[in-house]
Structure formats: C-alpha cells, structure tokens
Amino acid sequence: MSATSPLHSWQLHCARRTVLAGGVIAYPTEAVWGLGCDPWNREAVERILELKQRPMHKGMILVAASIDQVRFLLDPLPRVLQWEAEQHWPGPITCLVPDVLEQVPDWVRGKHSTIAVRVSDHPVVQALCNATGMPLVSTSCNPAGRAPARSIWQVRRYFGGELDRIVPGALGGNRKPSRIIDIVTGKQFR
C-alpha cells in the first residue's frame, strides 16, 4: 500500500471503532509512525502517555484532516493568526495555536496555553480523522528517548500487544517529523 492509497473500508471501519471506543492506535504519518486516540478521552490519552513514558505536562499534538476540524480553535483568534496557521496547511507543519477558550483538555494541552495542531495531507491520517469526525492525538510512536518508529516492525517491537490496533499504510515522503511553528511569535521549534 503506498502513501497515496486510502485504507480499505474494513480497515478504516475497525480503526474508527477502536478510536471511538477509547482505544489507542498506531498509524503512518508524513515521516514517522504515530500513536493516536480520541483527545477528549482522558483514559486513552493517559494510556498513550504511559506507553511512551511521557509526562502529561509536555502536551501532545492534534492532527486533523481539514481546517474545518480545527475551526473551533481558529475562530476565537484574530484573523491574522488564523491566516498564519492556515497558510501552512495541509502539510507537515505543526502550528502552536493559542487555545484562548481552553477548548482542548489539559491532558492534551499539557502546561501550555497553546495547542500543537497539524492539518495533515497524509491520506491515512486524513481518512482516520474523517472517519472519526474529529482531530486525533498524534504523537510519535516510540518510548521516550528512543527513535520514532519508521516501520511497522518497529511499532510492534516497541509496543507489541499493548496497542488496540495498528493501521496499515506507508509513511509519507518526509524524512523528519513535522516542523513546529508558533503562529504568534513566528518562532520555529524543530
């Protein structure tokens, strides 16, 4: 399966059911494999944090299929900041967006007043977000301090049977994880 082919309908149906039931999935993204779940399901998010051995205060990324899926975060912002974020999407750029109305739970946002958001152009990510009807938590598929998984065998080696589903597919063409840009200051973090 190439990065441009969509998931088979049964695979997508199973992944959707897993996420909506509070499960944790692994899936290919633009550069590395990611772990994802429903961001409003605290237990699922805490499970990812435990798997990764990542402290909650660091926060995590939300990934979406379209700007419309994250419109709730953009609408409260001045138009110039909305435009700043929108110019980077869809694509492999994560924007730090002020969560002025605190609409994203602190177990995703961490200690930050911003939320990291990416509108992906990867077909598997888009299919997953469209199927679930929401943005998903997206964090690299690796324990803290280890290299992100770049193959399905690395996903299995890191987390084996601890995941509820591994969604098949190919990575996108990027060699490095998404750049992170603060849309207020313009500062780039990676």
Tens of pLDDT along 123-164?
999 999 999 999 999 999 999 999 999 999 999 999 989 999
With beta carbons less than 8 A apart as the criterion, state whether 28 and 171 touch: yes
In a domain, 162, yes or no: yes
Which pLDDT score is estimated for 175? 81
Which pLDDT score is estimated for 6? 60
Let me know if 81 is exposed, middle or buried by CB neighbors in 10 A (0-12, 13-18, 19+). Answer: middle
Q: Write out pLDDT tens, residues 38-49.
A: 999 999 999 999
Which pLDDT score is estimated for 178? 75
Which pLDDT score is estimated for 91? 93
For residue 18 the two structure tokens come to: 């897993």
Which pLDDT score is estimated for 1? 40
Phi, psi (5° rounding) for residue 145?
Answer: 85, -5
Question: CATH number, domain at 73?
Answer: 3.90.870.10
Which pLDDT score is estimated for 3? 44
Helix (H) or strand (E) holding 17: helix 9-20
Which pLDDT score is estimated for 4? 41
In a domain, 4, yes or no: no
Residue in 8, 85, 27 with CA at minimum distance from that of residue 36: 27
In a domain, 189, yes or no: no
In a domain, 120, yes or no: yes
In a domain, 23, yes or no: yes
What's the structural domain count of the chain? 1
- pTM, to two decimals: 0.93
Enumerate residue ranges in the chain where pLDDT < 70. 1-6
In a domain, 87, yes or no: yes
Domain that holds residue 42: 9-182
In a domain, 153, yes or no: yes
